[in-house]
């Protein structure tokens, strides 16, 4: 299809900005730099085994990241691409990433700006060697005023802002097509990379997630570590038509959260990586600042919901940069049901009803 009549990401951002006459255009410029990093990664990922970025051989300096996870060469390279393509612009006060233990400072040779960029440069990196979709996730926050005024270094505390404070968030997915999915707080828009033009082109705006679904995603190998409300929810889904839900469910697990989030944005569903007891030092698998919050912002902007199970994700006050958290997101009615199950007493705490087996009137 010719580009005529289609909007590029640049045009979408300019049309958005026209609604805010006071806006400087800095956020737009920052988002375009982020999208350029994503285009560079889309190119590398699409070369697959023909390129040199795959494999497990650790590059010099690559090792175990701050999460205690093995860094793959592409984890390291994607982090480097994000940092280098965003540090020069003067729009950022600093950056933080899954792959960097402490915040990254803007080099003294460049001016410092009013935003903070937080990212997971490569989500689903275990899938890279098997040619399954991976992605990059980003969140943009405002830097504290004195970062801009004094040009001081950023510190971890500057990034500890609840998801509700995000100015913009999104992800790129490197799948059969590369797509860039964005919210600037006015709905969710999807852009598809035109590889000939090297431009992200708007292919869907005002994405709306169906409120109901019959599809759920959870890593059920963790079932024995789940808390009772999650067990109950999944058991009820598995019980299907004859069970309490009265309908059959389908299950999906890609192991790239970006790809699960994208499927859910496109056709509904619910994703759970809940808090569990697998490792008491890790309250959940996914990270609050660069996984749960940006995806949460997108979900809410598309009429869905994101939660810890106990409280809305965007209301959580972070206490550390690489904090992990239980995450449930997707179709609104399902997420609300899971939240309700967390509020209701668990079965073992519920007094046995009179006519249940083992009750007084059992025959």
Task: Give the per-residue contact string, 282-301, with ligand AHG (x = CB under 6 A; - = no).
Answer: ---x----------------
- Residue 27 or 258: the one with the smaller Cβ distance to ligand AHG is 258
Identified binder of ligand AHG from the candidate list 33, 87, 123, 199, rule CB under 6 A: 123
Identified binder of ligand AHG from the candidate list 87, 120, 300, 339, rule CB under 6 A: 120
Q: Is residue 215 a contact residue for ligand AHG (CB under 6 A)?
A: no
The β-bridge partners of 344 are none
255 binds, among Mn ion, ligand AHG, none (CB under 5 to 8 A by kind): ligand AHG
Q: Which residues of 34-71 are buried (b: 16+ CB within 10 A; e: fewer)?
A: bbebbbbbbebbbeeeeeebbeeeeeeebeebeeeeeb
The stretch near ligand AHG (CB under 6 A) out of 39-47, 191-199, 207-215, 249-257 is 249-257
Q: Is residue 256 a contact residue for ligand AHG (CB under 6 A)?
A: yes
Provide the token pair at 269: 């569903």
CB 340 within 8 A of CB 225: no
Which residue is at the shortest CB distance from Mn ion?
123
Identified binder of ligand AHG from the candidate list 93, 94, 103, 124, rule CB under 6 A: 124
Written as one string, the DSSP assignment of 18-58 is TT-TT--SHHHHHHHHHHHHHHHHHHHHHHGGGSSS-SSPP
- Residue 16 or 71: the one with the smaller Cβ distance to ligand AHG is 71
Q: How far is the CB of 2 from ligand AHG (least distance, A)?
A: 36
- Residue 125 or 213: the one with the smaller Cβ distance to ligand AHG is 125
Contacts 24+ apart (CB under 8 A), 58-65: 65/98, 65/99, 65/101
Antiparallel, parallel or unpaired: β 92-97 and 115-123: parallel
Q: Where are the alpha helices (DSSP H) in 104-240?
A: 145-150, 156-159, 228-239
256 binds, among ligand AHG, Mn ion, none (CB under 5 to 8 A by kind): ligand AHG
- Residue 256 or 301: the one with the smaller Cβ distance to ligand AHG is 256
Please name which of 249, 248, 286 lies closest in space to residue 270, comparing C-alpha atoms.
249
CB 192 within 8 A of CB 42: no
Interacting residues with ligand AHG (CB under 6 A): 69, 98, 120, 123-125, 219, 255-257, 273, 285
């Amino acid at each position: 299809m010719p580009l005529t009549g289609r909007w590029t990401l640049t045009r979408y951002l300019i049309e958005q900005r026209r609604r805010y006459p006071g806006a400087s255009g800095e956020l737009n410029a920052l988002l375009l730099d982020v999208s350029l990093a994503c285009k560079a990664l889309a190119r590398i990922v699409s070369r697959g085994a023909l390129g040199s970025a795959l494999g497990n051989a650790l590059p010099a300096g690559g090792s175990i990241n701050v999460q205690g996870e093995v860094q793959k060469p592409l984890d390291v390279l994607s982090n480097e691409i994000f940092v280098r393509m965003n540090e020069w612009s003067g729009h950022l006060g600093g950056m933080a990433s899954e792959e960097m233990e402490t915040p990254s400072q803007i080099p003294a040779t460049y001016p410092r700006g009013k935003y903070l960029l937080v990212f997971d440069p490569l989500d689903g990196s275990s899938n890279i060697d098997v040619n399954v979709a991976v992605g990059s996730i980003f969140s943009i926050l405002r830097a504290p005023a004195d970062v801009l005024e004094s040009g001081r270094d950023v510190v971890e505390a500057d990034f500890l802002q609840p998801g509700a404070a995000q100015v913009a968030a999104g992800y790129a997915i490197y799948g059969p097509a590369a797509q860039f999915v964005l919210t600037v707080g006015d709905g969710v828009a999807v852009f598809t990379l035109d590889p000939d033009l090297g431009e992200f082109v708007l292919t869907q705006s005002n994405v709306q997630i169906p409120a109901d679904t019959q599809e759920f995603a959870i890593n059920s190998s963790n079932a024995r570590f789940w808390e009772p409300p999650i067990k109950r929810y999944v058991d009820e889904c598995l019980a299907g038509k004859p069970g309490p839900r009265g309908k059959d469910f389908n299950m999906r697990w890609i192991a790239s959260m970006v790809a699960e989030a994208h499927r859910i944005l496109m056709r509904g569903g619910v994703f759970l990586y809940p808090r569990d007891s697998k490792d008491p030092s890790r309250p959940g698998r996914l990270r609050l600042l660069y996984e749960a919050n940006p995806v949460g912002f997108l979900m809410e902007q598309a009429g869905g919901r994101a939660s810890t199970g106990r409280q809305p994700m965007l209301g959580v006050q972070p206490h550390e940069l690489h904090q992990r958290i239980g995450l449930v997101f997707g179709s609104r009615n399902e997420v609300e049901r899971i939240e309700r199950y967390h509020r209701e007493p668990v079965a073992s705490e519920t007094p046995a009803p009179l006519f249940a087996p083992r009750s007084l009137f059992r025959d």
